[in-house]
Amino acid sequence: MNVIGHFVGGRRSRGTSTRHGDVFDPATGRRTAQVELAGGDDVAAAVQSAERAARTWRDASLAKRTAVLFAVRELVNARRDELAELITAEHGKVLADAAGEVQRGLEVIEYACGVPSALRGGFSENVSTEVDSYSLRQPLGVVAVISPFNFPVMVPLWFVPVAVAAGNAVVLKPSEKDPSAALLLAELFVEAGLPDGVFNVVNGDAEAVDALLDHPAVRAVSFVGSTSVARHVYQRGTAAGKRVQALGGAKNHMVVLPDADLDLAADAAVNAGFGSAGERCMAISALVAVEPVADDLVARIASRMAALRTGDGRRGCDMGPLVTAAHAARVHAYVEAGVAAGAVPVVDGRDVTVDGDPSGFWLGPTLFDRVTPQMSIYTDEIFGPVLSVLRVDSYDAAVALVNANPYGNGTAIFTNDGGAARRYQHEVEVGMVGVNVPIPVPMAYYSFGGWKSSLFGDLHAHGADGVAFFTRGKVVTSRWLDPRHGGVNLGFPTQT
């Protein structure tokens, strides 16, 4: 049995912990590897490696840092198929979706290549007589990144390139469910010329997370995952004096107004609801149909779902399995709860015929109609291929429904009325908004993050917020004496 270890000090390594977790191929249900679950000593070794590297990396020129990142970009691009295959083998998403994930990660690397512009400070001459002031941004030191199972390449690349470009050293703790892609990423960074220890990977579970949150040398933590864990990370990390950005769960709504192009809306609902088996923090899981369009829209969505092929992601299928048997059982239980609560199962994914091993972790695309806000399939983040349709009578009722939800990650509105779209983007209490775009994930030079229970902390991922998170500001006020200076003045300095 292959044992997956860690990446510390520029090379793969084995830790001291005796605990292991199982890694599965979700499309077959077979165990393919074991992964070491780091203990406190393993985390301390990775942090120590990062500490040593941070002392010299922070002094590397911007030219050196960008040269490394340009090389990383080329290497990731050259190995994108291999990365996608690793993602599919351990997560289960289809190869085309995995390739798209790698591409979105590449966009952040490309943004980080331009970090010298983002790190520029300001300068003011003669703020007082012959006194100048200027600002600059400096790295924090050692930072930690804790990433989820659903995007084992893209989410680490939201943070690591920006943190490294800003002069920090990183310890990444990927999900123990699909750890292999993170190790390959670390190898590619080192191959690109990143000094040993600047990018480390420790595999593990909650014990490793808490060790990172408690370690005094870790200055900042970036996290993506469920809201309950995000809250824990934020509270424990900030209590230890760390800077924390913790991106949590979501219940993303897609509002369809009566004037919308219903074919476009139906395509978008299927794509955004069932891509990656619904295991996206930006997946559309609640479709809010403003009457009288619900019957027509539901019929169009159901007809498209009938053509979807669920199966092994390496066989050209449309949708793959769920990531683990336990998660598949959890999502199945939500489908059963929706039926029991009185929602109408227009398409029941429990009846799916799969193109794959029957032992895989399967659930087909599922569509519920006449869902109410009290049902668990609406209130909870299911994180599976379950799309719930709620019917409302007006635009105002739709906005009230979205704003009443405790999550505020992403939302979309489908309409041909520019005034309604503009009003929606102004009124909705959500961090990322799409207009006729179902998954409004920002480009790398903007920042990703939600509102309310979808984010703990002030700064979002990548873009300008990412640079601000991984640096701290400093202002210098200086006077250089010239030959005219002389005399003593004990008075309080004033701006004259």
Contact 279, 88 (CB under 8 A): no
281 belongs to the catalytic site: yes
Q: Position 237: which residue type?
A: G
Residue 203 DSSP code: -
SS3 268: helix
Six token digits for residue 9: 């000090």
Mode of pairing for the β-strands spanning 471-479 and 131-139:
antiparallel
- The DSSP H or E segment spanning 413 is strand 410-414
- Phi/psi region, residue 134 (left: phi>0; alpha: psi -120 to 50; beta: rest), is beta
Residues 6 or more apart whose CB falls under 8 angstroms from that of 254 comprise 265, 268, 269, 272, 284, 286, 287, 288, 411, 412, 413, 414, 438
Q: Which of 278, 286, 277 lies closest to 254 in space, CA to CA?
A: 286
Q: Which of the residues 72, 94, 281, 420 is marked catalytic?
A: 281
How many other C-beta atoms can be found within 10 angstroms of the C-beta atom of residue 350? Answer: 14
First-to-last alpha carbon distance for the chain, in angstroms, is 75
Separation in Å, CA 485 to CA 129, 482, 488, 493, 496: 12, 6, 10, 15, 16
Are 283 and 273 a contacting pair, CB within 8 Å? Answer: yes
Distances (CA, A) of 484 to 128, 130, 131, 224, 481: 16, 11, 14, 58, 8
CA angle (253 as vertex; 252, 258 as ends), nearest 5: 160
Residues labelled catalytic:
281
